[in-house]
């Protein structure tokens, strides 16, 4: 199969389609609800708003982006395994990698809170008292509850659809019910139908708008201003088009922005060259994400050229602009030196299940698009 034909569906979207269909729920227009897909290593949580019923239309809430956190059954298993190893006598100490030991711990985790809990291996129960197991469960559950509370605030969801291997655990379910019911109903929607759910959500998509779960932008050069103290002490770039300070931060999409299916967020940029014959067949733009703490800053790098904490390169968007080689327009800079320039746009689309970015430019008055680049998932 051509990789370009692959379509990716976020787990929460696959889950919400399947959950509404299998549970028989038919929420009214303007209803808010949550989807929590708690699996083995990660938990995906999203808040949806019903904007239409015939056909069903769902959209995420602005300023309430979905979250993907590291929390799940496998992390509980690993923590208990380390705990168990530490409790074994020195002469029988195991490094934690034996299949028998791990299988025993996995069974302990999988049956915790179920009628089969008392049937787990005796030696495992003796070494791992129930209170210890509950502590590790509660540690993972606390992370999930914190993420739910963040999305729940000011949105008043009526119910929560719970999915995944961890989501089926009765102890986890009881913790959620104790915290949220009766204000928000907890509905166990199952966890073994993700493939069918993905197909269903592809054939009958209901999510029509998504919220950016990260701030995304590019590294730019900023026109030098001698009166700006932040420009002093930084390296400068001298060119025919002027004097610039490198490594400025320019946002394209801010976290929490709601973007519809057919919408794109675009920013226009310009690059300058000394010659009209610049090689443009492998034109590239690097995309970066910014944590909340640095999203509103002006700079991506410090004065020594080191990237600041909180910024991460996530992908490179490419384009073949070779048709423009030898045809770049020219103009004169502030010192009357001639230079050549290339105007282009970077467009980010969140309205697809897989966020994408592409480069746009003009040739002979027509807009040309480079190939779409899938933006990788960023854990929150």
Dump pLDDT digits (tens) for 209-236. Answer: 888 878 999 999 999 999 999 998 899 9
Separation CA 262–CA 10 (nearest Å): 18
Higher pLDDT, 37 or 203: 37
Measured distance CA(173)–CA(242) in Å, rounded: 62
Residue 351 has pLDDT above 80, yes or no: no
Token digits for 143?
């992370």
State residue 207's pLDDT score. Answer: 79
Considering only 12-21, 162-171, 337-346, which range has the smallest mean pLDDT?
A: 12-21
Q: CA-CA distance, 110 to 64, in Å (whole number)?
A: 32
Using 50, 70 and 90 to split pLDDT, how confident is the model at 241? Answer: very high
The residue that leads in pLDDT, 369 or 60, is 369
pLDDT band at 189 (very low <50, low <70, confident <90, very high): confident
What is the average per-residue pLDDT within 64-85?
86
Which tokens belong to 4?
Answer: 């370009």
According to the model, what pLDDT value does residue 341 have? 96
Please report the pLDDT score of residue 131 as a whole number: 85
**Interaxial angle between packed helices 11-23 and 194-203, expressed in degrees from 0 to 180 and rounded to the nearest 10:** 90
Provide mean pLDDT across the span 79-86: 78
Mean pLDDT of the region 271-276: 95
The mean predicted confidence, pLDDT, of the chain is 84
Give residue 205's pLDDT.
66
Between 343 and 8, the more confident residue is 343
pLDDT of residue 310: 92
> Average pLDDT in the 123-145 region?
83
- 101 compared with 266, residue with greater pLDDT: 266
Residue predicted with more confidence, 124 or 133: 133
- Which is higher by pLDDT, 154 or 182? 182
Residue 380 binned pLDDT confidence (cut-offs 50, 70, 90): very low
The pLDDT value given to residue 236 = 93
HEC string of the chain equals CCHHHCCCCCHHHHHHHHHHHHHCCCCCCCCEEEEEEECCCEEEEEEEEEEEECCEEEEECCCCCCEEEECCHHHHHHHHHHHHHHHCCHHHCCCCCCHHHHHHHHHHHHHCCCCCHHHCCHHHHHHCCHHHHHHHHHHHHHHHHHHHHHHHCCCCCCEEEEECCCCCCHHHHHHHHHHHCCCCEEEECCCCCHHHHHHHHHHCCCEEEEECCCEEEEEEEEECCCCCHHHCCCCCEEECCEEEEEEEEEEEECCCCEEECCCCEEEEEEEEECCCCCCCCCEEEEEEEECCCCCCCCECECCCCCECCCEEEEEEEEECCHHHCCCCCEEECCCCCEEEEEEEEEEEECCCCCCEEEEEEEECCEEEECCCEECCCCCC
Taking residues 130-149, what's their average pLDDT? 93
pLDDT confidence of 90, banded at 50, 70, 90?
Answer: very low
Residue 288 has pLDDT above 90, yes or no: yes
Rounded mean pLDDT, 327-335: 94
Query: pLDDT at residue 175 above 90?
Result: yes
Average pLDDT over residues 300-314: 91
Complete domains list, the chain, with CATH: 1-211 (3.30.420.40), 215-374 (2.60.34)
């Amino acid at each position: 199969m051509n990789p370009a034909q692959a379509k990716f569906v976020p787990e929460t979207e696959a889950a919400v389609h399947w959950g509404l269909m299998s549970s028989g729920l038919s929420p009214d227009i303007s209803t808010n609800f949550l989807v929590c897909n708690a699996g083995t290593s990660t938990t995906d949580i999203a808040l949806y708003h019903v904007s239409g019923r015939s056909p069903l239309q769902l959209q995420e809430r602005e300023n309430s982006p979905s979250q993907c956190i590291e929390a799940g059954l496998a992390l509980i298993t690993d923590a208990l395994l380390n705990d168990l190893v530490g409790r074994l006598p020195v002469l029988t100490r195991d490094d934690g990698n034996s299949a028998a030991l791990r299988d025993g711990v996995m069974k302990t985790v999988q049956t915790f809170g179920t009628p089969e809990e008392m049937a787990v291996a005796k030696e495992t129960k003796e070494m791992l008292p129930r209170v210890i197991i509950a502590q590790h469960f509660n540690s993972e559950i606390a992370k999930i509850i914190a993420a739910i509370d963040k999305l729940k605030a000011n949105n008043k969801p009526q119910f929560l659809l719970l999915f995944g291997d961890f989501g089926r655990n009765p102890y986890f379910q009881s913790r959620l019910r104790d915290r949220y019911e009766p204000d928000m109903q907890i509905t166990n929607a199952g966890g073994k139908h993700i493939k069918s759910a993905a197909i269903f959500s592809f054939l009958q998509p209901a999510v029509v708008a998504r919220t950016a779960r990260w701030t995304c932008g590019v590294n730019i050069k900023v026109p030098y201003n001698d009166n700006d103290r932040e420009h002093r002490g930084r390296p400068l770039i001298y060119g025919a088009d002027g004097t610039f300070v490198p490594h400025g931060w320019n946002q394209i999409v801010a976290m929490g922005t709601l973007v519809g299916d057919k919408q794109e967020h675009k920013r226009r940029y310009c690059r300058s060259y000394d010659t009209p014959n610049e090689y443009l067949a492998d034109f590239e733009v690097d995309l970066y994400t910014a944590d909340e703490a640095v999203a509103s800053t002006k700079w991506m790098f410090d004065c020594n050229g080191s990237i600041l904490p909180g910024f991460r390169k996530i992908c490179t968007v490419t384009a073949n602009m070779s048709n423009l080689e030898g045809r770049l327009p020219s103009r004169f800079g502030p010192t009357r030196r001639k230079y050549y320039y290339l105007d282009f746009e970077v467009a980010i689309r969140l309205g697809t299940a897989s966020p994408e970015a592409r480069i746009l430019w003009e040739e002979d008055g027509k807009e040309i698009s480079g190939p779409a680049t899938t933006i990788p998932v960023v854990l929150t």
